[in-house]
Structure 1
């Protein structure tokens, strides 16, 4: 189970990814009663939408437990099923975070839980040859954070995270649209504008249409947004991720840093689809940077490798010694 801030994905042995839904819970704004989970929780007019997961960990333990239990029952279609669960653990998680994640899984009726380092799961899902001695970098840009890990010999040797992800980029776009066009757009519309802009660097002369509320009149109207404007709006969040990646490279031993200059980095996560991001990171880090073939589900696929071979993590730890 890839428990992401934006979406949760579940991989089942011999079946692949069987669930991919928003990590959202809809509640009645007055009574607090839960109205829906996942995809139905983000429908317009369906109560107050809550996002109980942050940084791969429960921000609201009770809502996360109920969300996970709902997804597990939806997958197994049996209220008495108690599956074994493999989950990703952020490298900066504390022992308290680890215990909270385990407790949440057991309370959600899991029979057992295996925690896999997040960077290792992302690398496995992206097809990175993690058993190699050569150092490789994985950058996972999620909804609320960007996680960076350097791997060698099947282990994470350096890692870091910055609270700067797809949500920050969407807010930057919304602020720029308000400043340039006098139009208020919500996060969902800003996210849609990013998707409509596409993932390739060129052509920058393309335009996308956004809809929002006029600042002065309060009426709904549309505005044409040049793709170049989206590029400019996300400049600061991208520079924050670049500085974090540079800092992690500087902490690596010289031989690993040299490896990174040749082997480069792989981008995963929803933020990896941002237009021109590979090009910008490639220029700033002076190393090859490429997007994973399936960036949105890379962590889930990596956890799936561990589900298919429950001894894989033990084998990688033995190889790293």
Structure 2
């Protein structure tokens, strides 16, 4: 059967959520990457959606945390336990036949960070682990034929990182990764409400505002949402109504950083590939790409057509899954997937 077989798993190990793709079944699990741990014993109380509900609502003896921050592992032990739980959930408890796993990593991660992903995945029960860069996986998942000698640009806005890559002949010609993405939009929302209304809101409330009325470009009809937080002057609960135009103002800083990074990659792009990108447009993937009007803002700033991929949130996981299909790998595997145990790029052995 070659390197991969029926028991193979593709994992989009995201800062905000983990998506698991099983070969032949598609995406079988989508859970928030949150764990709830008892402080004293270190016992795992909840993982995934159950733990996400606890964020900001736990008693003193329990802490709900995200073991991944800015696209990389910040708590190795919790990440390993979370991965073990997810692998057992999708494969069953019979980890006798250990799966071989392909994991997505941001394009800007260091060798040490890559090694920690490999080790956490193998501690969790993987037989062998390979890495694939997120923009490559996102492009495959978006249906782009990356094996052709044609330039494509992918902008993947996740929870912790934004990855930009110019792809041709199966590899990233140019890439850049910044730690400004969905989480930074939430933080910007918290700061804005604190500064303008003297009110403190939680991360979950900020995320709900971003999803429901968050905008990067003015809407035809302004949207409104009521939110409740703590008044910083009186210390009592307070409710205000936010408008979509206020979210544009709140998100200015992270949006400008993303635009500057895209602009910087375009400036370094070889002219032949730049003409291909101008013709094909910029493909946007990831949950952050769903922010209202972001593609219009990018089109206006870069003078290049932009479009959001179908099922943008799942693109990276779908691309990882497609990378498990050996016949699709042939044209670009030597550029995309790296096998750290063998110390060489994947080949048909």
Do both proteins adopt the same fold according to a TM-score greater than 0.5, normalized to the shorter chain? yes
Please say if residues 204 and 228 of structure 1, whose CA atoms lie closer than 8 Å, have aligned partners that are also in contact.
Answer: no
For 1:306, which of 310, 323, 326 is the aligned residue? 323
Question: Could you tell me how far apart the structure 2 residues matched to 1:256 and 1:12 are?
Answer: 34
Please say if residues 158 and 288 of structure 2, whose CA atoms lie closer than 8 Å, have aligned partners that are also in contact.
Answer: yes
Q: Which moved further from structure 2: 87-96 or 112-121?
A: 87-96
Write the mapping of 1:33-112 to structure 2, written as runs, cut at 5 A: 33-44=43-54, 45-46=57-58, 47-81=62-96, 82-112=98-128
Considering fraction of residues, name the structure with more helix: 1
Please say if residues 134 and 156 of structure 2, whose CA atoms lie closer than 8 Å, have aligned partners that are also in contact.
Answer: no
What whole-Å deviation, never above 9, does each CA across 1:215-254 have from its counterpart, x for those lacking one?
2222223211011001111111111001111111112211
**3-state SS in 1 of match to 2:146:** coil
Aligned to 1:290: 307
Q: Which moved further from structure 2: 5-14 or 111-120?
A: 111-120
Aligned to 2:259: 242
Aligned to 2:239: 222
Give the TM-score normalised by structure 1: 0.93
Aligned to 1:197: 213
Question: Could you tell me how far apart the structure 2 residues matched to 1:145 and 1:4 are?
Answer: 9
Question: Could you tell me how far apart the structure 1 residues matched to 2:114 and 2:129 are?
Answer: 11
Please say if residues 5 and 56 of structure 1, whose CA atoms lie closer than 8 Å, have aligned partners that are also in contact.
Answer: yes
Aligned to 2:152: 136
Structure 1 residues 94 and 176, CA gap change in structure 2 (3 angstroms)? closer
Tell me how far 1:110 sits from its aligned partner.
0.6
Tell me how far 1:311 sits from its aligned partner.
4.5
Structure 1 residues 163 and 57, CA gap change in structure 2 (3 angstroms)? closer
What whole-Å deviation, never above 9, does each CA across 1:4-54 have from its counterpart, x for those lacking one?
000000011221111100111111244443212111112234431211123
What whole-Å deviation, never above 9, does each CA across 1:150-178 have from its counterpart, x for those lacking one?
11122111100111111111111111122
Tell me how far 1:202 sits from its aligned partner.
2.2
Question: Could you tell me how far apart the structure 2 residues matched to 1:210 and 1:319 are?
Answer: 47
**3-state SS in 2 of match to 1:85:** strand
Aligned to 1:161: 177
Structure 1 residues 58 and 115, CA gap change in structure 2 (3 angstroms)? same
Tell me how far 1:89 sits from its aligned partner.
3.0
Question: Could you tell me how far apart the structure 2 residues matched to 1:98 and 1:174 are?
Answer: 32
Give the TM-score normalised by structure 2: 0.86
Aligned to 1:28: 38
Aligned to 2:162: 146
Q: Which moved further from structure 2: 235-244 or 102-111?
A: 102-111
Question: Could you tell me how far apart the structure 2 residues matched to 1:318 and 1:185 are?
Answer: 47
**3-state SS in 2 of match to 1:43:** helix
Q: How many equivalent pairs are there?
A: 319
What whole-Å deviation, never above 9, does each CA across 1:194-233 have from its counterpart, x for those lacking one?
1111678523422111111112222223211011001111
Q: After the TM superposition, which segments of 4 or more aligned residues of structure 1 sit over 6 Å from their partners?
A: none
Please say if residues 246 and 285 of structure 1, whose CA atoms lie closer than 8 Å, have aligned partners that are also in contact.
Answer: yes
**3-state SS in 2 of match to 1:137:** strand
Question: Could you tell me how far apart the structure 2 residues matched to 1:179 and 1:203 are?
Answer: 27
**3-state SS in 2 of match to 1:315:** coil
Question: Could you tell me how far apart the structure 2 residues matched to 1:274 and 1:121 are?
Answer: 21
Tell me how far 1:179 sits from its aligned partner.
2.3
Question: Could you tell me how far apart the structure 2 residues matched to 1:78 and 1:119 are?
Answer: 32
Tell me how far 1:318 sits from its aligned partner.
6.5
Please say if residues 102 and 132 of structure 2, whose CA atoms lie closer than 8 Å, have aligned partners that are also in contact.
Answer: yes
Question: Could you tell me how far apart the structure 2 residues matched to 1:53 and 1:245 are?
Answer: 24
Question: Could you tell me how far apart the structure 1 residues matched to 2:144 and 2:194 are?
Answer: 41
Please say if residues 106 and 161 of structure 2, whose CA atoms lie closer than 8 Å, have aligned partners that are also in contact.
Answer: no
Please say if residues 204 and 227 of structure 1, whose CA atoms lie closer than 8 Å, have aligned partners that are also in contact.
Answer: no
